Structure 1
Amino acid sequence: MNEQLLSSYSDEEIKKALFQMHPSKSPGPDGQQINIWKENWIPDVPDGTLVRPAHYEIDTVAELIDGASRTWSAQATTLSSDIFAKLLMTVWALWKNRNEKLWLDKSQSAVALSLGTMTWYESFLLNRYPNGRTTKGRAHQVWKAPTTCILKLNTDGAFLPSVGSGAVGGIIRNDQGGFVAAMAHQVSHVTAALHIELVAIRAGMDLCQAMMVDKVITESDCLVAIQAIISEVPDMSIYSPLIEDIKVGARVFQDISFVHAPHSANCVAHRLASHAFENEGFHEWFAQAPELILDAIMYDCNHRN
């Protein structure tokens, strides 16, 4: 009997004791409830969705932490600043996902988590380099306000080939950078990045028509999409019906132009598209901007040309 009492706990005994406890009980002073250990809050990764680089040697975040000092290891300090920033964003996203599973009983997929993380990383770069960032000899470009009496529509699309679906986002702003309207929603049966970018432009035009906007500058960070729309040469690709639909739809506007914008000047639309990728449903906002883009709009307003 004594040997049995002094013996180590088996995995089966621990599991049995854990699953006998009420899910809302907190056995320790940290307030952590039991159901977090019963639920899978680490996102599932479908086969082929996320591919780990073949040359990558790190298996877990724990390998980047010194076990004795509980600080970042020498291996972590050798990472580039951009990679290290993405690492921290990913760790934070996983922790946020864990808390939402614990308190709200909801969690995101690995794909949605990675897209959201990269969106916040883009916002981090905007705040880290408020005066612009020079990359490969080119100056960081910011959003430019339209002229008086005309509005600007920015659109963007999010797409992962392995998923076969995507999402679009778009925002309409005035000559002061003020919010007019925005939209974000998922799109099924997407075949390529160009496809979703064209769909985003068309969805943005629909939003303009719903707002009775007849003078608008339409910006997208997809140069190929813009070139296809403004080209006078008939398009012979599989996207020709969609491109022609955009051209026909443009005729109802009194004044509309299609302009390419660098990614750094299209961050608000990018964030909306990423939001749609993470959240199902059709989202539209009028007059008052959603909280998820307020900081990005403020940044554009403070740095607009």
Structure 2
Amino acid sequence: MVKCTVAREFWRFMKDATGVKLPDLHPFAWAHDLLEAKVCSKKDAAMIMCDMWTLWTSRNKRRHGENPWPLRQAVFWAQDTAMDLWHILHDEKQKKQTSAPIRHWQPPPQGWLKCNTDAAYDDESRTGAVGALLRDETGNYITASAHWMPYVLSALAAEAQASRIGLQLAVAHGATRVILETDCKVLVDLWHKEGERRSEIGGILKQMEEVAHSLIDFTLVFVPRSCNVSAHECARIAFSSRHLDEWQIPPESVVRALEHDCNHIT
């Protein structure tokens, strides 16, 4: 899981994607050292353990005649999993928040518009699609767009493009206060940590900043996938059709996703 050709390439991709560098590990005590965070920070150790598990799973798939994940896809899966698990644990240790976790889409405050964005990505072909959907303070549908992308660098880049397109969509429809929601935690972390932005999506984030300056208020927030069903459906349609569309009247599958999002709102 450390020194074979596949593992070396995996760790190189992981360092490029997250900045986490695999430390020198003792051949017998490495698991204990990681679990006790003796060789790196606790957060990096959590990431590395998820990476180890991903490599082991890929190895087993290969040995049993199954197709292993492409390396870059495995890296982003491990990255997302580690981030999700870390934040779940972090929230649990924050001593009982009074509010229940958000599990459904919520309308924005009065005077705001909410834009949900999502992306689909295929690592082998480097193709992708993005979806963005705009709603008002009562949950009413305003518009949605879906863009096919014949080339995109990574899943993270696709998510960043989705947010950029969603923000531009909101501004084009006269929004002045916008909440933009995505289920990509890494993207949100990079947006809020300006000094740690990687070059892979730095240019896209800069474009978003320039668009956001035209607004009175703007916030980019992370939501779980259960709160992002409609945007996911828009991206799925674009990925299947390989078209660029903007819908004043949503397709039937998007209507069903909207009902899924909003059926809890009274």
Return the TM-score normalized by structure 1. 0.53
Choose from 272, 275, 289 the match for 2:250: 289
Say if 2:232 is the partner of 1:274. Answer: no
- State the shift of 1:56 in Å: 6.7
CA distance in 1, matches of 2:265, 2:152: 33
CA distance in 1, matches of 2:65, 2:154: 31
Residue 203 of structure 1 aligns with which residue? Answer: 165
Residue 232 of structure 1 aligns with which residue? Answer: 194
Change (3 A) 1:187 1:241: same
Say if 2:159 is the partner of 1:193. Answer: no
- State the shift of 1:241 in Å: 1.2
Residue 303 of structure 1 aligns with which residue? Answer: 264
Largest Rg, 1 or 2: 1
> SS of the counterpart of 2:200?
coil
User: By percentage of residues, which structure has more helix?
Assistant: 2
Choose from 224, 227, 236 the match for 1:262: 224
CA RMSD of aligned residues (A): 2.4
CA distance in 2, matches of 1:304, 1:166: 32
Q: Is the 2:229–2:261 contact (alpha carbons within 8 Å) kept by the matching residues of 1?
A: no
CA distance in 2, matches of 1:283, 1:293: 13
Change (3 A) 1:55 1:294: farther
Residue 214 of structure 1 aligns with which residue? Answer: 176
The amino acid of 1:213's aligned partner reads A
Correspondences of 1:85-104 after superposition (within 5 Å): none
- State the shift of 1:57 in Å: 8.7
Count of aligned pairs between the two proteins: 175
> Any runs of at least 4 consecutive aligned residues in structure 1 with deviations exceeding 4 A, and if so which?
53-58, 137-140
CA distance in 2, matches of 1:176, 1:56: 52
- State the shift of 1:304 in Å: 3.8
* Unaligned segments of structure 2, at least 5 residues: 1-60, 67-91, 93-99
Change (3 A) 1:165 1:301: same
Change (3 A) 1:55 1:145: farther
Give the fraction of aligned pairs with identical amino acids, expressed as a percent. 31
CA distance in 1, matches of 2:246, 2:123: 26
Choose from 175, 179, 184 the match for 2:137: 175
Return the TM-score normalized by structure 2. 0.61
The amino acid of 2:172's aligned partner reads A
Q: Is the 1:142–1:304 contact (alpha carbons within 8 Å) kept by the matching residues of 2?
A: no
CA distance in 2, matches of 1:164, 1:255: 34
